Amino acid sequence: MAPQFDEVRQFYEQQAAVKVQGKWGFIKPDGKFIIQPRFTQVSRFLEGRAAV
């Protein structure tokens, strides 16, 4: 099985930032995207929000 993500950050508040082809998005613990990769930089979610 080929890797899905170039980089994965730690889950926090049930979301993790993932990097795909140079862009960041967010996934749930089941691996489904909450936000498709489209950002050059992201921070972790805190109280339901993340800086992008």
Domain with 22, as residue range(s), is 1-52
Compute the C-alpha angle 3/26/14, nearest 5°.
105
**Domain count for the chain:** 1
**Residue 46 per-residue DSSP state:** B
pTM for the structure as a whole: 0.84
Place of tokens 């979610």: 45
Could you tell me which of 31, 9, 29 has the C-alpha nearest to residue 19?
A: 9
Indicate if the pLDDT at residue 46 is higher than 80: no
Residue 39 has pLDDT above 90, yes or no: yes
* pLDDT higher than threshold 80 for residue 44: no
Share of the chain above pLDDT 70, in %: 100
Q: Is the pLDDT of residue 22 over 80?
A: yes
- What's the pLDDT at 35? 95
Q: How many whole angstroms separate alpha carbon 42 and alpha carbon 17?
A: 7
